Amino acid sequence: FQTLKQCLITPPVLREINDTKPFIIQTDASSYALRAVLLQGESPAD
């Protein structure tokens, strides 16, 4: 639980894009909200 709390209050790491690596688009929607996130990891496991 402490790890989860720490992750929620730690700011994300923002970097410049690397257009030679693939992008991941995550989306989620409900009856009142929509979310989309563009991700790019350092390795396939990211």
Nearest to residue 46, comparing CAs of 26, 19, 31? 26
Per-residue pLDDT of the chain (46 residues; tens, 9 = 90+): 899 888 878 887 777 888 898 999 999 999 999 999 888 876 555 5
Q: Is 9 helix (H, G, I), strand (E, B) or coil?
A: helix
Q: Are 32 and 15 in contact (CB under 8 A)?
A: no
Rounded to two decimals, the pTM is: 0.51
**Cα 40 from chain centroid?**
8
